[in-house]
């Protein structure tokens, strides 16, 4: 960065009302994010990109709060997660995908608290189902299945190894 780089024209557009855009590298690079404002508030679409030009996040705001189906993407462009948000609060079914686009987990949310989680084996069979009491935030039940759909213990070494790999706790 040179001493007079601040004099270079920027591609950034920030209006306070209407479409706004910010670019990487102090306004000189590729698009970083684009959003709609109304009277200085986030109100309308909101999009964020990775440096490689692939979409990272797509959502919608109303009066500075997220609403609607929000989607996040892996850096390779595959869908990473999707689910509904109402006023910055997760409410409903969220789905998470691996970098190849395969569904790996579903979570049911109630008032921004997970009430149920389902994790899938790589062959799309259900591996784990956890039910949580949203008042106490404690697990009510846990069920596990092997790759063939047979019930097994949650401390089964194959289950533990797979979950550790899935959560990054190898």
Q: Do 83 and 114 belong to one domain? A: no
**pLDDT band with cut points at 50, 70 and 90 for residue 121:** confident
83 and 3 housed in the same domain: yes
In a domain, 70, yes or no: yes
Of the candidates 37, 63, 87, which is a domain's last residue?
A: 87
Last residue of a domain, one of 62, 87, 112: 87
| Pair 154, 142: CB distance under 8 Å | yes
pTM: 0.81
For tokens 């009491």, what's the residue?
A: 133
Q: Are residues 79 and 124 in the same domain?
A: no
Q: Please give the pLDDT value at position 94.
A: 95
Q: Which of 33, 58, 87 is the last residue of a domain?
A: 87
Residue 49 CA to residue 26 CA, distance in Å, equals: 15
Tens-digit pLDDT profile for residues 35-86: 999 988 999 999 999 999 999 999 999 999 999 999 999 999 999 999 999 9
Query: Could you tell me if 1 and 54 lie in one domain?
Result: yes
> d(Cα 124, Cα 145) in Å, to the nearest integer?
12
Domain membership of residue 127 as a residue range:
102-170
Q: Per-residue pLDDT averaged across 93-117, rounded?
A: 92
Which bin fits 116, alpha (ψ -120 to 50), beta or left (φ > 0)?
Answer: beta
Q: Are residues 6 and 83 in the same domain?
A: yes
**Residue 56 within any structural domain of the chain:** yes
């Amino acid at each position: 960065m040179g001493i007079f780089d601040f004099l270079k024209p920027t591609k950034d557009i920030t209006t306070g009302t209407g479409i706004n855009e910010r670019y990487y590298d102090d306004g000189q690079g590729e698009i970083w994010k684009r959003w709609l404002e109304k009277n200085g508030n986030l109100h309308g679409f909101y999009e964020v990109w990775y440096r490689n030009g692939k979409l990272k996040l797509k959502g919608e705001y109303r009066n500075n709060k997220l609403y609607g189906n929000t989607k996040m993407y892996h850096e390779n462009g595959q869908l990473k997660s999707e689910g509904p948000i109402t006023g910055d609060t997760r409410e409903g079914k969220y789905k998470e995908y691996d970098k190849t686009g395969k569904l790996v987990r579903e979570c049911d949310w109630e008032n921004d608290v997970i009430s149920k989680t389902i994790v899938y084996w790589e062959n799309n069979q259900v591996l784990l189902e956890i039910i949580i009491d949203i008042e106490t935030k404690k697990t009510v039940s846990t069920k596990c299945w092997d790759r063939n759909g047979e019930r097994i213990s949650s401390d089964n070494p194959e289950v533990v190894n797979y979950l550790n790999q899935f959560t990054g706790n190898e």
